[in-house]
Amino acid sequence: MPADATEPVVIPPELWRRPGTLAALRDRDIGQLFRLIRQHTGFSQTRIGIAVNLSQGKISEIMKGAVQVTSFDVIERIADGLDMPDPARLALGLAPRGLPAAISQPQYTPTSPPSDQPASRAGLPTRYLTSLTSASSHSVISGLRHVLTGHIQAEAIMGPLLLISAVQGQVPVVGQLCQVTRGADRVEALNFASELLEFCGWLHQDLGDFLHATMWTNKALDYAMEVGDQRVISYILMRKSIIATESGDHGHGLGLANTALANSAALTPRLRAVILRTRATANAHLGEATDSDRDSEMALVEATAGMAQSESDRAPYCTPAYIAMEIGATRVLLGQATAAIPIFEASRSQWPESSQARDHVLFLTRMATAYAIAGEREHACAVTEDALSRMQALRSSRVTAQLTALRAHLARWTADRSVADLLTRLDILSECFSLPAPQPQGDR
């Protein structure tokens, strides 16, 4: 063994900030991470292995791609052994070391599968869980529904980071209620369980954790299937479609959207609209411009009709302005940034000032990206300034990913002093966000 094999592995800070390293972290490609470390530092496989408590042979297999690292415990051990800084840990899907204990517990970095069994480890006394009965279910669900409504409103303003632990902590309670209730009370419990777990899946998706987003959304679908409500089933299938598409599995995303629309006559206009826009996005990623445009046009028609619908559903956010944002994004994906600009501009005045802050900021960053791609510097910078002024407490990996794409297109004008200043502020903001953003797909 070389004399220096047991010396600590010290990774240069700049290596963690390299695009290739960040891409490997976001993909949880540990083999590529080890290859980059060896390439840029010269550390041997033995030295890396000692640092992360793995054998030299195992390091070699991982670097060759013969073994994939999927165990959360091993990934966390690697992060600790390499002394990863917090931005790198977050890109890998781990909690930062500096977070308060209440946030950095396992329920924040969801390593445990969703469970219907009483679990004191989830932070709830077993005695309380086992005392829940069918008679108490209605009042408990009513209270939790008020809490969930507040969480949904707060998340639209500030993102998922500070909410995910609290939301996931309610899962054992709802699971227990689903076990002990019967009849109409059980249907109510199952409906609420599907809503809570679907929201939990969304929180993980907006943190860029597609693996656990899928896990929670699948469980939500299980509850919905038991109830048999076609509208809820279609909505959750739509959510699964978005997760698949954003994680890069575009064909699967398209297939799930088609399944969600299989019984479209049973859906509300808003539900049809939100599923159609999901299918339009999947088609855009697949390069199917004609199909994407068709779905986009139909989605806008349905969203407009949805403004007058009296029936409630899970897509109250699906307004014509929201659909216009998505249409603009699909046009950019298809390489039609110039065509996207008037679509963005037409819906700009329709966005509310206070609610859905994340979607509003996402809309503005997408619009600024379209202007930048089209070469319209002044408009791109003006819209970027508007987006920056609205971010405040918002933390969202989807916004972070769009900021990354926007910065890449603004960089062509770095010689301009005002643009250089804007880029500096974008960099500072992205550092503050420090969320595991999914790899940008095209120019979203």
For residue 23, pLDDT beyond 50: yes
Distance CA 270, CA 320 (A): 10
More confident residue, 179 or 241: 241
Going by pLDDT thresholds of 50, 70 and 90, the confidence category of residue 444 is very low
Q: SS3 breakdown of the chain: % helix, strand, coil, rounded to 5?
A: 70, 0, 30
Contact yes or no for 430/404 (Cβ under 8 A): yes
pLDDT tens digits for range 267-308? 999 999 999 999 999 999 999 999 999 999 999 999 999 999
pLDDT value at residue 297: 96
Tokens of 34: 């080890």
Lowest mean pLDDT among 56-70, 133-147, 352-366: 352-366
Going by pLDDT thresholds of 50, 70 and 90, the confidence category of residue 128 is low
More confident residue, 124 or 21: 21
For residue 320, pLDDT beyond 70: yes
Longest dimension (CA), the chain: 75
Distance CA 325, CA 136 (A): 43
Q: Which long-range contacts (CB under 8 A, 24 or more apart) does 210-217 make?
A: 210/243, 210/246, 210/247, 210/438, 211/93, 212/110, 213/243, 214/240, 214/243, 214/244, 214/247, 215/110, 215/113, 215/114, 216/110, 216/114, 217/243
pLDDT value at residue 220: 94
> pLDDT over 70 for what percent of the chain?
84
pLDDT tens digits for range 148-203? 999 998 888 888 888 888 898 888 888 888 888 888 888 999 999 999 999 999 99
One-letter identity of residue 415: A
Distance CA 34, CA 39 (A): 8
pLDDT value at residue 32: 92
Distance CA 72, CA 31 (A): 15
For residue 120, pLDDT beyond 50: no
For residue 342, pLDDT beyond 70: yes
Contact yes or no for 89/95 (Cβ under 8 A): yes
**What's the mean pLDDT when you consider all of the chain?**
84
In 3D space, the residue among 389, 403, 390 whose CA is nearest the CA of residue 431 turns out to be 403
When pLDDT is averaged across residues 122-148 and rounded to a whole number, the result is 76
For residue 253, pLDDT beyond 90: yes
More confident residue, 275 or 389: 275
pLDDT value at residue 389: 84
In 3D space, the residue among 434, 430, 439 whose CA is nearest the CA of residue 410 turns out to be 430
pLDDT value at residue 95: 61
Going by pLDDT thresholds of 50, 70 and 90, the confidence category of residue 122 is very low
Distance CA 89, CA 79 (A): 7
When pLDDT is averaged across residues 72-101 and rounded to a whole number, the result is 73
Lowest mean pLDDT among 18-22, 350-354, 385-389, 409-413: 350-354
> pLDDT over 90 for what percent of the chain?
48
When pLDDT is averaged across residues 56-61 and rounded to a whole number, the result is 89
Task: Supply the pTM of this predicted model.
Answer: 0.69
CB burial of residue 378 (10 Å; 0-12, 13-18, 19+): exposed
Q: How many CA atoms lie within 13 A of 4 on its CB side?
A: 7
pLDDT value at residue 433: 57
Distance CA 162, CA 370 (A): 31
For residue 309, pLDDT beyond 80: yes
pLDDT value at residue 323: 94
pLDDT value at residue 374: 96
